[in-house]
Amino acid sequence: MGRKISKVLIANRAEIAVRVIRSCRHLGISTVAIYSDVDAGMPHVLLADESVCVGEAPSSKSYLRMDRIIEAAKETGADAIHPGYGFLSENAAFARKCREAGIIFIGPSPEAIEAMGDKTKARELMEANHVPLPPGTASALKDIAEAEKIAEEIGYPVMVKAAAGGGGKGMRIIYKKEDFKAGIRTAKSEAMSAFGDDRVYVEKYLENPRHIEFQIIADEHGNVLHAFDRECSVQRRHQKVIEEAPSPFLDDKMRSEMAEVAVRAAKSCNYTGAGTIEFLADKHRNFYFLEMNTRLQVEHPVTECITGLDLVALQIHVAEGKPLPFKQQDLRIQGHAIECRICAEDPEENFMPSTGSLKRFHIPSGIGVRVDAGIEAGQKVTINYDPLLAKLVTWGSSRDEAIRRMKIALEEYQVDGCRTTIPFCSFAMEHPVFQSGEYDTHFIGQYYQPDGTGHSGDDEAHLAAALLFNEFSGAQNENGRPSAETVEPHMQSMWWRNRR
Ligand code: MV4
């Protein structure tokens, strides 16, 4: 049935709140921002039509305060709440509270969130719907003897995962039989202390997987479509750093097989709205269901760039009870897109969070360049929230063109006041393994050895020589960087970054 949304409260902050506000404005929908006291001057607050302070800096005292947020929606007459990602976006209780308050939750039903939030329930549902799982148990282990037998059958190494975990939380690899019992016991006690639920399951550990996910968009009229795939294998401790669409690993055959499975997985939980099915793929092109994310993903812009879709507008469209305005055959992959997460982390200090006040935050622009930023120069980067400052996305008619544009955009991106992941992203764009597209989830661990330049090996010697030469010869360009004849272009950006 039709439900008109005229005002949306965005229950989030920073770049995703700005992103949602932009689509609302495009649709003529007014917006309410919420903010913690330290976020009062942030872009999402200034961009919204109205704003409500919901509490103090700690998320538990502001962005996670369900009742206060619903109260803010009622106070301002918002008829819908968009949760963004993180915070309350996959909290079934919050979705239920919205429903009980007569406020539209822009996302799937509480039942779908619950079904996919419990990893063993999700796996049982997938198994029943012939969605491939890594060899192992779909359900939570009942006793250690049974678990040992299964581990023997699937062969070591195995991975133990918490039913209430996800996104890398509550996982352990067990390499040999002698370590199995202790490994299970530790995994269960960790799960109990982290999630209050000690249920775990076991599956074959896939040694060098690629992390490939499919974007799903589904309405309340039985239409469940996919908007193709994203490669998210450049990760660090389960934090994605660089994503791209489409995956360079998939050929048409594998893409259509995975797409069909992803749609089936979404149908199995009566999914509505935007969601993502995460898979792991091995080098033999086997692929396995990992988990379903019942929210809009951070990396959704690469899908928007190759399809022309506005996924936030579609979420609102579906939340109003409308049928999707297109069929599967109307969707096409156009070109290639890459996203680099610009995070306030220091890649030379093991990606430790970096704080400070931003003196400069010069964002790049140009053909095929999109920046979704949630902070501006003059504002403070604190430890209160996720270190994501912005997402730099480039599109090209080919992967090479997208990479080329990314290299240039990264060089243009100038942040003063805190360390960022920019040097790491430049390193990746320059790396032959990334350029070949033949990388897996071990890329960072395997190839990135921070040594003060974001490059390894002879790069450093060359840079040192160039820096010394320039210091004494004065040959610099208008930005005070080494002039082209002394250092190749890709080294110049390194020089710039090492000057801060
Ligand atoms: C795995 C795996 C290999 N084998 N499961 C689960 C949560 C997601 N963020 C990553 N997960 C993985 N599950 C099996 N059976 C490899 C990953 C994985 C990963 C694991 C550890 C450290 C980094 C990783 C990056 C991507 C995928």
pLDDT at 484: 36
Looking at the structure, do residues 80 and 157 belong to the same domain, yes or no?
no
Closest CA to 300 of 375, 388, 232, 368: 232
User: Closest ligand 1 atom, CA of 232?
Assistant: 26
Distance of CA 233 to the CA centre of its chain: 11
CATH code of residue 36:
3.40.50.20
Q: What is the pLDDT of residues 381-434, one digit of tens each?
A: 999 999 999 999 999 999 999 999 999 999 999 999 999 999 999 999 999 999
Burial 12-27 (b: 16+ CB within 10 A, else e): bbbbbbbbbbbbbeeb
Task: Judge if the beta carbon of residue 280 lies within 6 A of ligand 1.
Answer: yes
Quickly count: other Cβ atoms within 10 Å of residue 211's Cβ: 21
Q: Would 436 be classed as within a structural domain?
A: yes
Contacts of 433 (CB under 8 A, 6+ apart): 439, 443, 447
pLDDT at 469: 53
Looking at the structure, do residues 188 and 48 belong to the same domain, yes or no?
no
Residue 467's pLDDT band, with cuts at 50, 70 and 90, is: low
* Number of domains forming the structure of the chain: 3
pLDDT at 57: 98
Residue 138's pLDDT band, with cuts at 50, 70 and 90, is: confident
Q: How far is the CA of 445 from the centre of ligand 1 (A)?
A: 14
Looking at the structure, do residues 326 and 365 belong to the same domain, yes or no?
yes
pLDDT at 472: 53
Give the strand pairing for 158-166 and 169-174.
antiparallel
Closest CA to 132 of 226, 240, 204, 207: 204
Task: Judge if the beta carbon of residue 167 lies within 6 A of ligand 1.
Answer: yes
DSSP string, 101-141: TT-EESSS-HHHHHHHHSHHHHHHHHHHTT----SB-SSPP
What is the dihedral angle through the alpha carbons of 419, 448, 212, 310, rounded to the nearest 10 degrees?
30
The residue to mutate among 119, 154, 206, having the most atoms of ligand 1 within 8 angstroms of its beta carbon, is 206
CATH code of residue 301:
3.30.470.20
Q: Would 301 be classed as within a structural domain?
A: yes
Task: Judge if the beta carbon of residue 445 lies within 6 A of ligand 1.
Answer: no
Q: Would 58 be classed as within a structural domain?
A: yes
Q: What is the pLDDT of residues 62-101, one digit of tens each?
A: 999 999 999 999 999 999 999 999 999 999 999 999 999 9
Last residue of a domain, one of 153, 182, 204: 204
Q: Would 125 be classed as within a structural domain?
A: no
User: Closest ligand 1 atom, CA of 206?
Assistant: 4
Q: How far is the CA of 134 from the centre of ligand 1 (A)?
A: 11
Looking at the structure, do residues 293 and 375 belong to the same domain, yes or no?
yes
Task: Judge if the beta carbon of residue 134 lies within 6 A of ligand 1.
Answer: yes
Looking at the structure, do residues 348 and 407 belong to the same domain, yes or no?
yes
Beta strands in 30-117 (DSSP E): 30-36, 50-55, 80-82, 104-105
CATH code of residue 190:
3.30.1490.20
Neighbouring-strand partners of residue 217: 225, 274
Last residue of a domain, one of 420, 442, 464: 442
Residue 455: is its pLDDT beyond 90? Answer: no
User: Closest ligand 1 atom, CA of 171?
Assistant: 6
Q: What is the pLDDT of residues 117-129, one digit of tens each?
A: 999 999 999 999 9
Residue 113's pLDDT band, with cuts at 50, 70 and 90, is: very high
CA–CA distance, 244 with 232 (Å, rounded to integer): 7
Looking at the structure, do residues 78 and 151 belong to the same domain, yes or no?
no
Which amino acid residue places its CA nearest to atom 5 of ligand 1?
205
Residue 53, SS3 per DSSP: strand
Closest CA to 312 of 99, 22, 14, 2: 22
Closest CA to 335 of 250, 260, 397: 397
Looking at the structure, do residues 65 and 197 belong to the same domain, yes or no?
no
Q: What is the pLDDT of residues 288-314, one digit of tens each?
A: 999 999 999 999 999 999 999 999 999
CA–CA distance, 339 with 319 (Å, rounded to integer): 27
Residue range 209-230: average pLDDT? 98
User: Closest ligand 1 atom, CA of 204?
Assistant: 15
Give the active site residues. Answer: 295
Identify the helix (H) or strand (E) that includes residue 25.
helix 14-26
Q: What is the pLDDT of residues 25-51, one digit of tens each?
A: 999 999 999 999 999 999 999 999 999
The residue to mutate among 235, 351, 448, having the most atoms of ligand 1 within 8 angstroms of its beta carbon, is 235
The residue to mutate among 290, 351, 443, having the most atoms of ligand 1 within 8 angstroms of its beta carbon, is 290
Residue range 129-147: average pLDDT? 91
Q: Is-contact 334 307, C-beta < 8 A?
A: yes
Tell me the backbone φ, ψ of residue 47, rounded to 5 degrees: -80, -30
Q: How far is the CA of 204 from the centre of ligand 1 (A)?
A: 11
> Residue 143 sits in which domain range?
135-204
pLDDT at 454: 45
Q: What is the pLDDT of residues 154-208, one digit of tens each?
A: 999 999 999 998 777 778 999 999 999 999 999 999 999 999 999 999 999 999 9
Looking at the structure, do residues 314 and 434 belong to the same domain, yes or no?
yes
Residue range 473-494: average pLDDT? 43
Task: Judge if the beta carbon of residue 205 lies within 6 A of ligand 1.
Answer: yes
User: Closest ligand 1 atom, CA of 159?
Assistant: 15
Task: Judge if the beta carbon of residue 206 lies within 6 A of ligand 1.
Answer: yes
Task: Judge if the beta carbon of residue 21 lies within 6 A of ligand 1.
Answer: no
Residue range 485-490: average pLDDT? 42
Looking at the structure, do residues 242 and 333 belong to the same domain, yes or no?
yes
Residue 483's pLDDT band, with cuts at 50, 70 and 90, is: very low
Q: What is the pLDDT of residues 149-160, one digit of tens each?
A: 999 999 999 999
Looking at the structure, do residues 277 and 234 belong to the same domain, yes or no?
yes
Which amino acid residue places its CA nearest to atom 19 of ligand 1?
238
Looking at the structure, do residues 33 and 164 belong to the same domain, yes or no?
no
Looking at the structure, do residues 102 and 220 belong to the same domain, yes or no?
no
Q: Is-contact 242 234, C-beta < 8 A?
A: yes
Task: Judge if the beta carbon of residue 168 lies within 6 A of ligand 1.
Answer: yes
Residue range 200-227: average pLDDT? 97
pTM over 0.85: yes
Q: Is-contact 303 208, C-beta < 8 A?
A: no
pLDDT at 479: 42
